[in-house]
Amino acid sequence: MFPRGREILLGIGGGISAYKSCDLVRRLRDSGYLITVVPTRNSLNFVGATTWEALSGRRVPEDLWSNAHEVPHISLAKNSDLIVIAPATADLIARLAQGRADDLLTNIVLASRAPLILVPAMHTEMWLNQATVDNIATLKTRGVHVVEPDVGRLTGEDNGVGRYPQINKILDCVDTISSHKSDLSGRRVLISAGGTREPIDAVRFIGNNSSGIQGYSVAHAAASRGAEVTVVSANVNLPSVEGVNTIKVSTAKEMQEAMESYFDETDICVMTAAVADIRPKHPNNEKITKSDLTTLDLITNPDILQGLSDRKTSQLLVGFAAQTGHDGLRKAKEKYALKKVDILYFNDVSGGAIFGSDMTEGTIILSGDEAAPFERASKMTLAHKLLDYAVDKLGYAND
């Protein structure tokens, strides 16, 4: 089973309702999220680390001082798509409002750019205390999301507002805030990445500048939305994406073989690879001396995308078109029609502006007469955008 889904960091405050977050972990995991639990020291009086480890299936980082060489607050802050703190106690809320960083959890929150959801739970008097009211208001102005506590029975005999909310309320908030739900859960996504190399002899090849960043971004994005992802990767010098099935190939023919062997079982296929259109007819096993290397006999490589589009049944096909020059969009539209793809991303690669960069800009062609400009943004943003359109076209959002 692949680890899939969005990364949620679940902070646990030191309140009696910490035990209710045990169910929250389970329900979030059932929805395909990956959970790292970070309990405050006080909360461990209510629920111990062993329980969190068993429920989340992951080690529980407890303080700033263990594994310091891994700089845990920074790596956890970076790796989280979303931070949820449930229960959030009055003290924790106060520390967050002040921007304090006096334990692992508050350090992570301060170091992270991920959206933050607070699930306050406390006695009515504490919730309604002006200090807490002001702290919550401050946090809201900073964009923090707050799931309002329920009204009902509290610890002991008292009743009132401050009760840990219904889990479904928290899940709804997580699904909404986590900008992309697990909308590809149970779907298979096949991606080609990088650039093929066609050997001339033992040391030389015909190739291109594709870095694989775009393909790996699509792989990362699709996996984070719950898909089972296979990447056919040609000459990419990037670390493999966690949980993604990566098949290494080098030439166009190898790529074609790998893509075709997975295609029939695929729901969405994204062809980001730059495929060499030609290859030497007679590659030499030995290095050719330069005096003998005056001409090259070339033959055309198969058009992989075209082949896939010919055998396609229900698969949604996304192609890329790299063009240069003023006529690029018109040519890209021709490619869209010719290759019978569902979505085609056209970008102008003049002057090497896109290859190797984390950024991209171009046009997303969605049909014969519909195209949406994609303004300069990261290749990861484009990856999500293309998947949004794919999900839309396939009607998954309505499932």
Count of helices and strands (H, E) across the chain? 13, 19
Nearer to ligand CTP, 60 or 275 (CB): 275
Rounded Cα–Cα distance for residues 325 and 349 (Å) = 9
347 is catalytic: no
Backbone angles phi, psi at 163, to 5 degrees: -75, 145
Nearer to ligand CTP, 132 or 251 (CB): 251
- What's the closest the beta carbon of residue 397 comes to ligand CTP, in angstroms? 25
Catalytic one among 79, 107, 159, 208?
A: 208
Rounded Cα–Cα distance for residues 133 and 312 (Å) = 57
Interacting residues toward ligand CTP by CB under 6 A:
252, 271, 273, 275, 277, 301, 303-305, 319-322, 335
Nearer to ligand CTP, 320 or 396 (CB): 320
Nearest to 93, CA basis, from 77, 114, 109? 109
- What's the closest the beta carbon of residue 290 comes to ligand CTP, in angstroms? 28
Break the chain down into helix, strand, coil percent, rounded to 5. 40, 25, 35
Nearer to ligand CTP, 98 or 324 (CB): 324
Q: In 3-state terms, what secondary structure has residue 315? A: coil
- What's the closest the beta carbon of residue 71 comes to ligand CTP, in angstroms? 39
What is the separation of C-alpha 367 from the centre of its chain, rounded to a whole number of angstroms? 26
Rg (CA), the chain: 26
Q: Looking at residue 164, what DSSP letter applies?
A: P
Rounded Cα–Cα distance for residues 149 and 359 (Å) = 41
- What's the closest the beta carbon of residue 199 comes to ligand CTP, in angstroms? 16
- What's the closest the beta carbon of residue 136 comes to ligand CTP, in angstroms? 49
Category of 126 on φ-ψ map: left (φ > 0), alpha (ψ -120 to 50) or beta = alpha
Question: Residue 97: CA atoms inside 13 Å, Cβ hemisphere, count?
Answer: 19
Nearest to 42, CA basis, from 102, 126, 128? 102
Nearer to ligand CTP, 144 or 305 (CB): 305
- Residues taking part in catalysis: 208
